[in-house]
A and B are shown apart, each in its own frame.
Chain A
Amino acid sequence: MNVSVPTLPSLRLALVGNPNCGKTALFNALTGSRQKVANYPGVTVERKEGNFVSPIGRPVVAIDLPGTYSLRGRSPDEVVTRDAILGRLEGDQRPDMLVCVADATNLRIMLRLVLELRNAGIPMLLALNMMDIARYRGITIDVDGLSAELGIPVITTVAVSPDGTQALLQQIDAMANAGLASTEPHWHALDASEVRDAHHLADRLVDRFVSHPANDRDWTRRIDRILLNPAGGLLILLAVLFLVFQAVFSWATLPMEWISAGFDWLAQTVSAILPAGLLSSLITDGVITGVGSVLVFLPQIIILFFFIILLEDFGYMARAAFLMDRIVGGAGLHGRSFIPLLSSFACAIPGIMATRVIENRRQRLATIMVAPLMTCSARIPVYTLIISAFIPNRQVWGMVNLQGLVMFSLYAAGIVSAFAVALVFRTFVWRGKSEPFIMELPGYKRPLVRSVLLGVVQRAIIFLKRAGTIILSMMILIWFLSTFPAPPEGATGPAIHYSFAGIIGHALQPLLAPIGFNWQIAVALIPGLAAREVAVGALATVYAIGGDASGSALSQTLSAQWSLATALSLLAWYVFAPQCASTLGVVRRETNSWRWPVAMFVYMMVLAYIASFVVYQSAIALGG
């Protein structure tokens, strides 16, 4: 017997609230998505949609909006939130319901936004998120009283707990069943006196309905006294970053050897099975050697992101932004630039998108232009390869790993050069006053193991996906260019010299000779423009096909073929080397002009050449 189940009409709800109140964590909990969350404001800069079905079977479209303190829309990310709520986004329906998400430990500022949101004309409810932390700290909230006073349902949630969204889901169903009737928005930009009045009203509501314990159990202030100390704080920050890079090198050695041995075994097995010919060469020299030489760096990427995500979740990265404010401001950047620059350590693309939190146009452009100078994860394979080939793995000053120290220095070089270039831009191109940095520091939280592991796994998957798609494809093309055309009759040199790659490499080599690059490096630099780590695979393939590989590991080949001066020059090149094609595309999209990506490409190329030239010639002069 067929029973027809009546389909409930779908519902669109938007999650809105202050930055860092847990909107995205709630969005992930409701929809099962895996959007990035971190314990600092400004992580979400664009609106995201996800679907879920409510307990009674109602299809719901959830919209995660960037955090905001008001509907004024001072920065591009806040404009997205305002326009989504007021129905100003072309081709996008207004939400049927607003879920105002508040950090239960810090209700005052959210209540001011709730008062403003009442003018949006959309039925709404207030979700007091992070109630577990509020309870731990002894904060009590008169939920019923607050609900009666505001005239909207108020419920409590713990987005990171498995059952923490039950009350919210039930309330959504209850409100939808009762009927949701939106009215025309009658919001207007508040003037100064209206803002003051709203603040006073929010203060009164907090005084009436929220009680704080006499002795706050929150350790945030006590920890901040040490970590935010003007002198000691910076030293601690440097020490933390230094230890991270030490760990990256020390811990990754063994798994890297395993992966390398695995690929060696695979290459030998495949060449034993397949008859000698083109296909065998493609798979062993192109695919396995090329992709394997990049994949071997997976452990280092995992370890680095484990620490970054751990520090983000703990709340330390927001403190790092605070500590760096004077330095960032000195370079003419906005204090909010720190978060985009920090994001750029993973990849410049989310970093450039994260500049939407910056209100000032000039500071935003300056941040976009220097974000690619921060060391992205695609540089890790290049740096690690050269360091492991040329820098001895020994301890200096008793306990410091020399390879880790060099890696730390390369990261520091990226940061310093980003600030120097920003200062040049702000002094000569985008002059103007820097605006003060105001950021609400989040409370320290115990990082959730699941959240950290999920973040690390996501980074690993991104890396593996790149290796399996664009890097794999590029390796196949490099193999083709290195294999064809075949050498002419009577040729005496290695076959690769007569190939397309050999011809291109030899044509470019005179241009790169002053910076110490040979023709193989010239070949590797070209696909490296598409994705930096491809350069490592390209080197592996070119040396393997050329018959110059002097060991199973590429690092052994390079240390036998290159001088130290060439290696240092290539490191200097990759500190500044022009960004990958995807980054230039994102700069084009974010600036709505080709002028800035072209300017970025040119200035980075010039910087890279000059840096390599200086390093190479200096190293030669010193006997490198």
Chain B
Amino acid sequence: MHDPVMLLDAVLTYMIVFAAAAFVLWRIFLPVRFKTVLVHRLSGRKEPCAPQAEEKGCAVGCSGCALGSIHKRQA
């Protein structure tokens, strides 16, 4: 392991594995709310307010009201 080539080989490998683990953690395991707060704080923006309980009582939960399922898209 004292061979510099082998050392570089190991460092690169572990960095790739770490990056993959971080990506899987971010994409699959972290809750959306946590990610939203984190992204906004890191970019210095005020985070959006937390979702509130629905007041209108949709039949089975979210019906795409103001608090959910709205995806703004840029052209």
Contact = CB atoms under 8 A, between A and B. Distances in A.
Interface in B53-74: 54, 58-74
Nearest to B22: A473
11 contacts: A48-B73, A51-B74, A77-B64, A89-B65, A89-B70, A90-B65, A277-B9, A470-B27, A472-B20, A477-B21, A589-B62
Contact of A76 (B17, B64, B71): B64
A275 B9 contact: yes
A589 B73 contact: no
Interface string A479-510: 11000000000000000000000000000000
A353 B10 CA distance: 44
Nearest to B56: A79
A438 B27 CA distance: 40
A277 B75 CA distance: 46
Most-contacted residue by chain B among A45, A277, A365 (CB, 10 A):
A277
Contacts of A469: 23, 27
B59 A476 contact: no
B5 interface: yes
A473 B20 contact: yes
B75 A79 contact: no
Interface in B11-55: 12-13, 16-17, 20-21, 23-24, 27-28, 54
A473 B63 contact: no
Given A33-B75, A592-B61, 11 more contacts: A45-B64, A51-B74, A76-B63, A89-B65, A92-B70, A278-B10, A473-B21, A473-B24, A479-B17, A591-B61, A591-B62
- Sorting the interface of chain A by its residue count into under 10, 10 to 19, 20 to 34 or 35 or more gives 35 or more
Nearest to B13: A278
B63 A49 contact: no
A135 interface: no
Interface in A580-624: 581-582, 589-593
Given A278-B9, A278-B13, A476-B17, A590 B62 contact: yes
A47 interface: yes
A221 interface: no
A132 interface: no
Contact of A593 (B5, B27, B61): B61
A471 to B, nearest CB: 11
A50 interface: yes
A46 interface: yes
A545 to B, nearest CB: 14
A280 B16 CA distance: 12
Contacts of A361: 59-60
A31 interface: yes
B13 A279 contact: yes
B64 A46 contact: yes
Given A89-B65, A469-B27, A282 B73 contact: no
Interface string A70-81: 000000110110
Contacts of A261: none
Most-contacted residue by chain B among A45, A479, A592 (CB, 10 A):
A592
A474 B10 CA distance: 19
A151 interface: no
Interface string A320-357: 00000000000000000000000000000000010010
B72 A49 contact: yes
A365 B59 CA distance: 10
A80 B63 contact: yes
A623 B63 CA distance: 52
Contacts of A243: none
Contacts of B17: 282, 476-477, 479-480
Nearest to B63: A76
Nearest to B48: A91
A544 B58 CA distance: 51
Nearest to B69: A46
Given A46-B71, A50-B74, A52-B75, A282 B64 contact: no
A280 B13 CA distance: 9
B62 A83 contact: no
A480 B64 CA distance: 41
A279 B73 contact: no
A364 B66 contact: no
Given A76-B59, A277-B9, A361-B59, A92 B64 contact: no
A583 to B, nearest CB: 12
Contact of B13 (A31, A89, A282, A589): A282
A241 interface: no
A577 B72 CA distance: 33
Contacts of B24: 470, 473-474, 477, 530
A476 B20 CA distance: 7
